[in-house]
Amino acid sequence: MNLRTLTEQWLRANGYDGLLNDSTECGCKVGDLMPCDEPSSQCEPGHIEECDGSCLHGECDWHIAPGKSK
């Protein structure tokens, strides 16, 4: 078992949708974790939110926000 698998299992078991890193404006969903292959100690669990158009990355359908879904 590796870090990606352990992290995915923990996120699912605790009701999170993915990871985010505000310092690098990065986010990834459970099922596609760590596509950068460089997980950071700054990554934190979060939930998926629909994009409201205010993303710094331009247009997107979703992003990961801190905390669990409401």
pLDDT in tens, 23-33: 887 889 999 99
Range of the domain at 52: 3-66
Token representation of residue 26: 């990065």
Give yes or no for a contact between 62 and 49, defined as CB atoms under 8 angstroms apart: yes
What local confidence, expressed as pLDDT, does residue 30 receive? 95
Number of domains observed in the structure of the chain: 1
pTM: 0.83
Q: What does the pLDDT profile of the chain (70 residues) look like in tens digits?
A: 999 999 999 999 999 999 999 888 788 999 999 988 888 899 999 999 888 776 665 667 888 889 987 6
